[in-house]
């Protein structure tokens, strides 16, 4: 029986672009009206209206210091944002009000300063889940196969505590559609891990749900409306779809095999550093780092581009 299902991986010609002039739009969030919001290293959040118009909400810290460097972002119901700050100067998580005022949300734990934060997720119950990739400084010291100092912090009301530790460079996290599990990408552990969320908001029963081979460095993840988990890989520009039965499909890929082999060798030999992440050898994608959905359309954040890639989901 013949079908009209597209061949996988999808052709790069299936990609179109939205937005312009963005600076390191690492994380992309879809608003209820279809507006896209992205982290932007001009120091705030860029919004892309359905018309394509781009507006920057710049964070005003007010202390004369350097601008925020938001990595992950979460939009709150009042139109404000939480920003996971990746800079050494600021670090932790900041609150960005609709008028641009930025104030600390969580910068220390138990009296000790927190390292740069990677990602922040606000769930339907108002709990805030924050990933910290590594305790090492600079972070590049943990671009290693044996990375294990990443952790997850839960903020629930006035309480903040570490709920998962020993992760291989913790990156984005998502709750399962039923809210029973928290999924976390371990970028240099090269796996997607999940924990069961208990009634007391503890994370237990750590389990590896997917492992990845050469050239895949899992960063972003999200569930589509069919319950499939999607994962993005920096460096290799891969988009993967994890079916509920455990099947992993490559949906998109845009990389130079010889350059990727060099990076893979550096990773395995413990010499991977910032230059390996700060350059890209590809046709069109620019080190994709996150994924978000609006119906049957996917949007991809990236580390090295200035716009958001988008494509229609295959069946």
Q: What is the C-alpha to C-alpha distance for residues 61 and 79, in angstroms, rounded to an integer?
A: 18
pLDDT digits (tens, 9 = 90+) for 202-213: 999 999 999 999
Residues 54 and 46: beta-carbon distance below 8 Å = yes
Rounded CA-CA distance 310/290 in Å is 12
pLDDT > 70: percent of the chain: 98
% of the chain beyond a pLDDT of 90: 93
**Whole-Å CA distances, 271 to 45, 155, 219, 264, 275:** 33, 35, 20, 10, 11
Say yes or no to pLDDT of 5 above 80. no
pLDDT over 50 at 3, yes or no: no
pLDDT for residue 134 = 98
Question: C-alpha distances in angstroms, 299 versus 48, 187, 189, 228, 308?
Answer: 12, 20, 25, 15, 7
Reply yes or no on whether the pLDDT at 284 is more than 70: yes
Q: The tokens of 238 are what?
A: 């891969």
- Side-by-side strand order, sheet with 44-48: 28-30, 36-40, 44-48, 54-58
What is residue 2's predicted lDDT score, i.e. its pLDDT?
Answer: 37
Measured between alpha carbons, how far is 185 from 192 in angstroms, rounded to an integer?
A: 5
CB-based contact 220:301 (threshold 8 Å): yes
Q: What is the pLDDT of residue 6?
A: 60
Mean of pLDDT values over 56-81: 94
- CA distance linking residue 282 with residue 273, whole number of Å: 19
Pick from 172, 129, 174: which is nearest to 154 by CA? Answer: 129
Identify the residue whose tokens are 């409306």: 225
Q: How confident is the model at residue 139 (pLDDT cuts 50, 70, 90)?
A: very high
**pTM of the full structure:** 0.96
Q: Nearest Cα to 216, choosing from 246, 237, 194? A: 237
Query: How many residues does the structure list for the chain?
Result: 315
Cα torsion 176, 124, 290, 137: sign: negative
Average pLDDT over residues 169-186: 98
Q: Are 289 and 304 in contact (CB under 8 A)?
A: no
- What is the mean predicted confidence (pLDDT) over 37-56? 97
Q: What backbone torsions phi and psi does residue 139 show, to the nearest 5 degrees?
A: -60, -30
Work out the average pLDDT over 138-161: 97
CA 164 to CA 150: how far, in whole Å? 8
The two tokens of residue 57 are 């909400």
User: What's residue 1's pLDDT?
Assistant: 35
């Amino acid at each position: 029986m013949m079908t009209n299902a597209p061949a996988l991986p999808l052709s790069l010609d299936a990609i179109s672009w939205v937005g312009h002039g963005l600076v390191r739009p690492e994380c992309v969030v879809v608003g209820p009206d279809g507006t896209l919001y992205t982290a932007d290293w001009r120091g705030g959040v860029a919004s892309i209206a359905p018309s394509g118009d781009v507006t920057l909400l710049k964070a005003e810290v007010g202390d004369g210091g350097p601008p925020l460097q938001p990595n992950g972002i979460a939009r709150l119901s009042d139109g404000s944002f939480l920003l996971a700050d990746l800079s050494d100067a600021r670090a932790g998580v900041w609150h960005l009000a609709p008028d641009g005022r930025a104030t600390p949300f969580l910068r220390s734990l138990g009296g000790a300063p927190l390292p740069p934060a990677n990602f922040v997720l606000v769930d339907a119950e108002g709990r805030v889940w924050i990933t910290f990739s590594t305790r090492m400084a600079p972070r590049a010291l943990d671009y290693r196969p044996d990375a294990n100092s990443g952790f997850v912090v839960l903020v629930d009301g006035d309480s903040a505590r570490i709920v998962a530790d020993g992760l291989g460079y913790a990156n984005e996290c998502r709750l399962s559609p039923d809210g029973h599990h928290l999924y976390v990408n371990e970028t240099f552990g090269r796996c997607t891990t999940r924990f069961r969320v208990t009634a007391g908001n503890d994370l237990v029963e750590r389990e590896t749900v997917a492992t990845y081979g050469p050239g895949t460095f899992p960063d972003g993840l999200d569930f589509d409306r069919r319950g499939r988990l999607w994962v993005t890989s920096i460096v290799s520009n891969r988009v993967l779809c994890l079916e509920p039965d455990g099947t992993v499909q490559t949906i998109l890929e845009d990389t130079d095999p010889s350059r990727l082999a060099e990076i893979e060798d550096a990773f395995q030999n413990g010499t991977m550093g910032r230059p390996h992440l700060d350059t890209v050898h590809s046709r069109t994608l620019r080190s994709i780092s996150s994924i978000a959905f609006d119906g049957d359309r996917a949007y991809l954040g990236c580390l090295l581009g200035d716009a958001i890639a988008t494509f229609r989901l295959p069946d």
